[in-house]
Amino acid sequence: MGSAILLALNLANSSFASNLSDGNQNNRTQGKFASFAPLTPDTPVVGIDLGTTYSCVAIIRNERIGVEVIPNESGNRITPSVVGFTDDERMVGEPAKNQAHLFPQRTIYGIKRLIGRKFGDPEVQADKEWLSYEIVSGKDGSAYVRTNVVRGLSRDLSPEEISSMILLKMKQISEAFVGNDIQHAVVTVPAYFNDGQRQATKDAGAIAGLNIVRIINEPTAAALAYGFGKIKGNRKILVADLGGGTYDVSLLDLKDGLFTVLAISGDTHLGGEDFDQRLAEHFSKIFMKKHQKEVKSDNRAIQLLMSHVEKAKRDLSTLLYTRISIENLMHGIEFNEQISRARFEELCSDLFKKIIDPIEIVMRDSGLKKTEIDSILLVGGSTRIPKVRSIISEYFNGKELSQNINPDEAVAYGAAIQAAMLRGNKKRILIDITPLSLGVEVSGGLMSHIIPRGTQIPTKIAQSYTTEQDYQQLIKLSVYEGERSLVKENRLLGQFALTDLPAMKRRVPSIQVTFSIDENSILSVTAREETSGIEKSITINQDKSRLSNDEINRMLQDAQRYAEQDKVIEGRINAQKALENYIFSMENTVDESLANALLIIDKKAIKSTLKEAKIWIKENEDSATQIDFEDYLHDIQLFCDPIIKRAYKRIAKELAEEDYSSEL
């Protein structure tokens, strides 16, 4: 990647201060492309973080449940800011990112680096060197993208047009979520964006059919997410935003709801993609050593490796070890490697060292002492990396970092708060939705969510379950609300049991559990075992035992705070279950389906392996990690699967011979 460019700007008393209390603002773009109905307290307004690498959208539909970060079509809460063209279609978000390496000149990413800039801008000239698509001088000397669009036509597109495609995607994601039109949005931009870049962002919104009611600074949005908009008095807030490709540090001064940017600095080429690159280089070297093959020579292999290393990097934010496992990296070769967090930190150590420089610059420019900083907010997906957090915390002598909002969602979260403020002060509940998720307890003490939080009521959702033990005659159903992975951290709403079930082996019964909530928030839960028809239900009147808004908020905050930890616990329990399931199904295969087809010696070998595995689980249940369970499973699969495969082959051969002989 090109050389890093440090930005330092002193913005004391600049025009970027934004007043949060007023409701309306002139919108220069309004009416240029479309006209929009004026905002009322009932108008849905989303907050959009239009990021360089990922975008995120959030909304407040109901004051009681607060901000909801909206998942995209694959259930992810952030969406790649990538637009891709093939001869047949235009793709935005995940599909575009997934095929990026196949169409490098037709996949447009990082467009935020170009928006509102002239072709001759030194930043554009520097970026041009390493962006894989073509940049040309367009209208009025602005930077444009030249690419082949659908049907292979070459076209020059403005960054506003590309950005509008991303905004349109975020609009569609929101509309699918709320089930209604979304016409208005608050969009965030970096604090250093000038008027031209801000205006271009607004124009992008208008092209997408969105009325951008307000552009706000990303660090300001992050501060709003942390509730600083409501605080009376004076605060100094440092916001460090390490995203996918850029690092922005801002120092904010807050006086009674009015934010002023005191100083900003950053590194326009430092972020998650650089860490991915380091991991990819590391694994490419290993692959070269083992197989004498150059990953870089194969676009498909690069693409596969990049998506796996990004995932591994994310895993290493919560786990000390992880592995990448790619079935066919290239030439049919399977690639399976472990990596530790320590090794990852070593590979990126020179990059991590660059984190402090911009912080020092804003401190120097603002003339403030470290002790005068009241709060430090870490924003951007890459601040989930423990090393990044510790480097910043150490610089401020161990000062606590605010961290109860997901760093890659904080900007959109704050934008949604600003959006709700602009919608009007009258506190109105737009629609009635479930404030917390509802579900039942499943094995391992895990919560299985049935109705997600934020579901519009009335609603009815069913899900199927089965048993874990042979001849289970009783199935207990415990109904909980809450977002945590383990039911013991959630709130128990009620319990009942299906009794006198006919004797069935484990995994045979099919239990349909239906949750329905009526207009009056009354929840009824029905469980029905399909083969026997045995059925029971309970009714829970939620209005009577409803939690207060404060209690709901506390539960949501806990869920955010412990999200990573919960993921580790859940991953571990699921890995143990996967191992147990494998043992169980292998036992069935050996004793039942293949009982007569296996050689006695193979049968014995598998049985003793399974027995050992069961003992191993018993002895290590409490101390084993997710990786330990996965490794164990991998090992016994390597042993058992080929034997089973051979047995099936033998059966197939015998059958074929029989057929042949009967024809004679």
Which residues have a catalytic role annotated?
49, 112, 218, 241
Cβ neighbours of 404 (radius 10 Å): 15
78 binds, among ligand ADP, Mg ion, none (CB under 5 to 8 A by kind): ligand ADP
Shortest distance in whole angstroms from residue 80 CB to ligand ADP: 9
Q: How far apart are CA 278 and CA 299, in angstroms?
A: 18
Whether 47 contacts 185, CB under 8 Å = yes
Q: Of 88, 52, 69, which is closest to residue 162 (Cα–Cα)?
A: 52
Question: Binds 602, which of Mg ion, ligand ADP, none (CB < 5 to 8 A, cut-off by type)?
Answer: none
List contacts with ligand ADP (CB under 6 A): 51-54, 78, 243-246, 271-273, 310, 313-314, 317, 380-382, 384-385, 408
For residues 408 to 437, the per-residue mask of contacts with Mg ion, x marking binding by CB under 5 A and - elsewhere, is ------------------------------
Residue 490 binds: one of Mg ion, ligand ADP, none (C-beta under 5 to 8 A by kind):
none
Q: How far is the CB of 625 from ligand ADP (least distance, A)?
A: 18
Q: Which is nearer to Mg ion, 56 or 309 (CB)?
A: 56
Give the separation between CA 333 and CA 12, rounded to whole angstroms.
57
Task: Provide the minimum distance between the beta carbon of 109 and ligand ADP in the complex, in angstroms, as a whole number.
Answer: 10
Tokens at 379, concatenated: 């924003």
Q: How far is Cα 11 from Cα 27, in angstroms, rounded to an integer?
A: 24
- How do beta strands 491-498 and 475-481 pair? antiparallel
**Residue 575 CB, nearest approach to Mg ion (Å):** 32
- Which one of ligand ADP, Mg ion, none interacts with residue 313, CB within 5 to 8 A by kind? ligand ADP
Which of 380, 454 has the CB closer to ligand ADP?
380
Contact pick of 44, 47, 51, 454 for Mg ion (by CB under 5 A): 51
Give residue for tokens 């590194």: 267
- Site size for Mg ion, by CB under 5 A? 2
Extract the tokens encoding 494. Answer: 């009620």
Q: Spell out the alpha helix ranges (H) of 45-113.
A: 94-98
Q: Bridge-partner residues for 528, per DSSP?
A: 512, 535
Instruction: Decide whether 51 or 229 has the Cβ nearer to Mg ion.
Output: 51
- Please report how close the Cβ of residue 528 comes to ligand ADP at its closest, in angstroms: 40
Based on CB atoms, which residue is closest to Mg ion, 418 or 490? 418
Whole-Å CA distances, 599 to 223, 608, 649, 656: 68, 14, 13, 20
CB of 93 to ligand ADP, least distance (A): 13
Say how many CA atoms lie within 13 Å of 17 toward its Cβ: 15
Q: Which tokens sit at 586?
A: 């292998």
Q: Which residue number, 208 or 411, has a Cβ lying nearer to ligand ADP? A: 411
Least separation in angstroms between residue 355's CB and Mg ion is 16
User: What six digits make up the tokens of 336?
Assistant: 């399976």
Residue 243 near Mg ion by CB under 5 A: yes
φ, ψ dihedrals at 402, nearest 5°: -70, 130
Q: Which range touches Mg ion (CB under 5 A), out of 90-98, 239-247, 297-305, 548-556?
A: 239-247
Of the listed pieces 44-52, 78-86, 198-206, 518-526, which binds Mg ion according to CB under 5 A?
Answer: 44-52
411, 379 in Cβ contact below 8 A?
yes
Residues in the chain: 664
217 is in the binding site of which of Mg ion, ligand ADP, none (Cβ under 5 to 8 A by kind)?
none
- The first and second tokens of residue 277, run together, are 């690159």
| Coil, helix or strand at residue 349 | helix
| 205 contact choice in ligand ADP, Mg ion, none (CB below 5 to 8 Å, kind-dependent) | none
Cβ proximity to Mg ion, 115 vs 647, nearer residue:
115
Backbone angles phi, psi at 547, to 5 degrees: -75, 155
Q: Which residues bind Mg ion (CB under 5 A)?
A: 51, 243
